[in-house]
Amino acid sequence: MKYNRIVSVKTGLLVLVSLVFILHSLALIEVGLLQRLENDAYAARMQLTMANTQDDRIVIIDIDEKSLAEIGRWPWRRDIVGQLVNDLFDKQLVHTMGFDVVFAEEDASGRALIEALPPNTPDALRETLIERLNHDAHFAQSLAGRNVVLGYYFKEITDGYANVGQLPKPAFPDFAFDFPLPVRQATGFGANLPLLQQAAKQGGHFNPQVDEDGIVRRVSLLIAYEGNYYASLSLAVTKAFLKQPIETLFAQGVGVGQSYLGLERLMLGKKLIPVDHQVRALIPYRGKSGSFRYVSASDVLNNRLSPGELAGKIVLLGTSAPGLLDLRATPVEPVYPGVEIHANLIAGMLDGSIKERPAWAAGAELVSLLLIVIMVLLFLPSSPLSSTLLTSVLFVVISLSNLWLWVEAQLVLNLASPLLMLVTLYLIHMAYGFFVESRNKQLLSNRFGQYVPPELVAEMSANPEYYSLEGESKQLTVLFSDIRGFTSLSEGLAAKELATLMNAYLTPMTQLIHHYRGTIDKYMGDAIMAFWGAPLTDPHHARQAVACALAMLKELKQVNASFVEKGWPEIKIGIGLNTGVMTVGNMGSAFRMAYTVMGDEVNLGSRLEGATKEYGVSLLVSQQTKDAAPEFVYRELDRVRVKGKEQPVTLFEPLGLVAELPQSLTESVELFHLLLASYRQQQWSVALDYYEQLRREFEPEPVYEVYRERIQQYMITPPPADWDGVFTFTTK
């Protein structure tokens, strides 16, 4: 019962831990550790599988430290930026240009010069200077008619400041959705001067999508403002490069009693861009910073590039200079230029390498968690080795299948939760097994350790619910062993020497009983009491007991040889075995208890041990023991009535295994059985002839003389007419 409670606690703990993971996967609770580990798993897969090559289709025109040193601090005059645009399109023949900067305020540097002119400056000169010093106009002229996307930003928190600049056209200027898309909602914007935005015609927002841990993993491709949807810088640049409109692809499904629509992809012509439920795209990082070619803006302005060196390229104007604060934390690098994030997204849109976290990802995670729970509860309660092997196989299968979906199917499914739950359940199982089951083993050892060998305790601990100290009736085999003439032996030895002798005798005998899976009941001075079949059930308990008794007699020869070397007397023992139904369990008083066996069959075993002295043999067993262990050759010695029992008992002497018995011993047994049959038929002369033949042909044995004396006595005084051949003992 206690073990069942322990198992229930263990199962309950496993289910409780599993429930935490499942509720987290359903977003009903939030476990910060799981989310952090999931982010780490995402970064690990990203770093393991990213290309780590440079994409030459996209070039970053870098406002770097070198450019700031040569041109001056940012922001530069707009005519310089305009010249940069002219050089890129006219000399370098770039295809598309995107700005990861915003020009929200007028360039006032020329106005200050105009205002500083003397009052008498001719109007024509003043007009000429105003035209030449209108840097915004020159910049707008450089943008006009070219494939340029200006960048801007949205505000999502009302900060009390008015909107600045002019928004570009929305992503879907001529299309209205039947329902609002679940995208980020802006409350304001900081955009480019109307003059510049109208010249460029296209624009894209560069609002960073920063996760709770400060890492940029995805970008909102659409942001809503006042009912319209506006494209991100990367989406707008790709649209401009492909010259394709932005379209939407909805997935339709049927839920419980209702249908639903979900935006799963944006389309640019044949290019499909997977997005999540908030129309965000995962950034397909190619590698660490430097995955795209960086060209210093000053090198373009100072004509250090070969003409047409950037022909057909997409160029992004951005900055890697730390002082301009466009550095982000990403899964691949803690300090990463923001402009390169846009470059990665553009490359991913062109290649179709943007990974997708599908709408069914949460369901897939839930199914995987449930399967893990089922497999753990069904198979982990096996051996530690099997549990470890199963856990390792599941760990590898989950990891490799997830990685395969990441690489081949471009799918992002949660990995940390299934793996962590698997490992956690395994650790709970192993820890519980180590601590609780070790406690059970210790409890069993405390209960049975003094009776059975450690290996049996270990075997019992695998199923402790089957073993109890409570009394029960079982078919068992009991053994009694006693030293012959122990009283006279003890009188001839000093106390210390006698104790040493007894230890030298009892130790190997006990080892043999343990070896043959027996249970030591008690030591009674020079006597040993043991039994087989409890607490560990053994269907071959009689066979084990007989084999053990024969081994004890064989071992006694070695013990006596060592005794002779030490000057000690040799000893002889008698062993009695009986098989039958006995009561076994913890018995005693409120002051002292012992795990023992009781009953008539136990008493018979003791009587058999005592009867060995009458026949001059070392081992006697009952009919029940002989029948339960037929592998051995037995010599029937007599049928007797022992003291305290009316029913006659047949006595047998085990001689050894059938296959191992010498031919001469087999012949002597057959001849003795003929003597015994003649004796029971009261054919005294025939019985004496068999006796004489045994004495002539075989080694003399005390049992032969027992029957010679009986036969001669019966020849003088015949038994009564109703004699049944049974000899009655008058002593124990």
Report the C-alpha gap between 50 and 593 in whole angstroms: 72
- Phi, psi torsion values for 510, nearest 5 degrees: -65, -40
Could you count the other beta carbons within 10 Å of the beta carbon of residue 286?
22
In the prediction, which pLDDT does 161 show? 76
Contact of 614 with 730, CB cutoff 8 Å: no
Contact of 52 with 286, CB cutoff 8 Å: yes
Which residues, in sequence order, are CB contacts of 391 under 8 Å at separation 6+? 380, 422, 423, 426
Q: Give me 602's structure tokens.
A: 């136990």
Could you count the other beta carbons within 10 Å of the beta carbon of residue 693?
14
In the prediction, which pLDDT does 1 show? 41
Contact of 469 with 444, CB cutoff 8 Å: no
Q: Give me 208's structure tokens.
A: 């960073």
In the prediction, which pLDDT does 552 show? 97
Q: Which spans in 160-265 are helix H?
A: 194-200, 233-242
Could you count the other beta carbons within 10 Å of the beta carbon of residue 728?
9
Which residues, in sequence order, are CB contacts of 540 under 8 Å at separation 6+? 629
Report the C-alpha gap between 708 and 710 in whole angstroms: 6
Could you count the other beta carbons within 10 Å of the beta carbon of residue 469?
15
Could you count the other beta carbons within 10 Å of the beta carbon of residue 298?
18
Query: What is the domain partition of the chain in residue ranges?
Result: 2-30+360-443, 48-351, 468-661
Helix or strand holding residue 696 (H, E): helix 684-697
In the prediction, which pLDDT does 256 show? 38
Residue in 583, 577, 581 with CA at minimum distance from that of residue 597: 583
List C-alpha distances in Å: 20 to 27, 256, 424, 558, 708. Answer: 11, 26, 12, 65, 86
Report the C-alpha gap between 380 and 432 in whole angstroms: 12
The stretches in the chain having pLDDT less than 50 are 1-7, 254-259
Report the C-alpha gap between 158 and 165 in whole angstroms: 17
Contact of 647 with 669, CB cutoff 8 Å: no
Contact of 612 with 575, CB cutoff 8 Å: yes
- Phi, psi torsion values for 211, nearest 5 degrees: -75, 175
Report the C-alpha gap between 62 and 319 in whole angstroms: 5
In the prediction, which pLDDT does 24 show? 79
List C-alpha distances in Å: 107 to 45, 75, 137, 193, 570. Answer: 46, 9, 10, 10, 120
Class of domain 468-661: alpha beta
Contact of 568 with 501, CB cutoff 8 Å: yes
- pLDDT digits 0-9 by tens, 281-335: 999 999 999 999 999 999 999 999 999 999 999 999 999 887 676 889 999 999 9
In the prediction, which pLDDT does 313 show? 97
In the prediction, which pLDDT does 380 show? 64
Is this structure's pTM higher than 0.75?
no
Instruction: Please give the single-letter amino acid code of residue 617.
Output: V
